[in-house]
Amino acid sequence: MFTHADLPPVVPQAAVVKPYSRREIAFVDIETTGLNPARHEILEVAVLRVDARTMKPVAETTVLVSPERLHDAQPEALHVCGFSPALWASAVPLVDALAEIAPLLEGAIIAGHNVAFDWSFLVAGFRRVGLPLPDVDYHRLDTASLAWPLYGDGELTSLSLDAIARYLDVDRRWPHEALDDVRCTAEVARRLIARMRRGGDSRPMRNVGSDQHTPAPSYEELLTGLHELTSALARRRREQGRRRRVYVCHPFADAPERNIASVRVISRQLMSAGLLPIAPHLYLPQFVNEATERERALQLCLELLDGCDELRVFGDRVSPGMQRELDHARRHGIPVRFEKAVLA
């Protein structure tokens, strides 16, 4: 769990001398006077910023916001967040609260539990007070979506933050207190991401006979299935109205002249079959020096591969460069096919 000891002090906006890295995630949680961002107001906002790769905290802040239209508030919303004039005596105007959290949002991926709700209130709030919306990444990270495979698999009966936190053994001590909820959400995300990477169960293992938790391969299988479906749809769109593009994967560096001659033959055969060969061997050597710019050449090859519908492997061996291309194709859902060697 995240604790105060993990966190450096929040840097005031005026003291920020450089933007945060875009490889950081800003978890947000807000408490409101109701559910409609056009009518209701923010009562409390908390932001916890973490490193996207390690999920370690970078900074956090929480602010109570003084409401201006309590007559529009839903009584149940005030009850849920524990609002009272005494507890909100130190609250600040919305414009001050948003100015304080803006540096923690800048350049980040916005995350949260049912994050569309929180973000809609923040967007409405920035517009209402006339402050520019922070420049954030267009992606969103939603812990409810991350947990959906567990719900679909029957391991969860609800996608509420309470239910997911209990399942993952994450402590949620003060529900609907923004700072505690945002810490809980970040910890839930950390454990779900760890589970996703392993394809198994992220909860603590129990060494009690048959009660011991075991990995849940269905979680990984579902994510893999969704990825394959997305890749298939993308390929179908690419295939409509044009020739199928085939990337020619063939040895090069061991015998450039002979290999280039073989790739010419392969390309003619592919053209005769109604396909469009993408053969870097035939033109990259014209402006990239393989001996001194090998990594650059490989990166250009991978960019060309991204636009192809299929990768075909030719030759009697797979070189390290070809292996890079194979791995890239498999990671991005590009079909791979092995062909017999072609001699020029």
Whole-model pTM: value is 0.55
Name the maximum alpha-carbon separation found in the chain. Answer: 86
Nearest CA to 50 out of 182, 194, 201 is that of 182
Note the pLDDT of residue 325: 93
Query: What pLDDT sits at residue 26?
Result: 96
Q: Token match 């003084």: residue?
A: 66
Q: Which amino acid is at 115?
A: V
pLDDT at residue 187 in the model: 94
pLDDT of the residue at 199: 57
Sheet strand arrangement including 336-338: 276-278, 245-249, 310-313, 336-338
**163: CB partners within 8 A, 6+ apart:** 156, 157
Outline which parts of the chain fall under CATH 3.40.50.10400.
242-338
- Residue 233 pLDDT: 58
Under 8 Å CB-to-CB from 135, ≥6 apart: which residues? 106, 107
Query: Which helix (H) or strand (E) element contains residue 260?
Result: helix 256-272
Q: What is the pLDDT of residue 193?
A: 84
Burial bucket for residue 14 (CB in 10 Å: 0-12, 13-18, 19+): exposed
Contact between 32 and 77 under an 8 Å Cβ cutoff? The reply is yes
Please tell me the predicted confidence (pLDDT) of residue 23. Answer: 76
pLDDT of residue 225: 58
pLDDT at 22: 56
The tokens for 168 are 């993952």
Which among 305, 155, 293, 134 has a CA at the least distance from the CA of 219? 155
Where is 307: in which H helix or E strand? none
> Which pLDDT value is given to residue 331?
85
Per-residue pLDDT, 292: 85
Tokens linked to 41: 């107001």
Cβ contacts of 306 within 8 Å, gap of 6 or more: 332
Q: How far apart are CA 75 and CA 83, in angstroms?
A: 10
Quick one: CATH architecture of 242-338?
Answer: 3-Layer(aba) Sandwich (3.40)
Among residues of the chain, what percentage have pLDDT more than 90?
Answer: 49
Q: Which residue from 117, 122, 116 is spatially nearest to 47, judged by alpha carbons? A: 122
Which regions of the chain carry the CATH code 3.30.420.10? 4-198
pLDDT tens across 87-98, in order?
Answer: 999 999 999 999
Task: Please state which CATH class domain 4-198 belongs to.
Answer: alpha beta
3-state DSSP call for residue 254?
A: coil
Q: Which residue numbers in the chain have pLDDT < 50?
A: 2-6, 8-18, 201-217, 219
- The predicted pLDDT at position 212 comes to 43
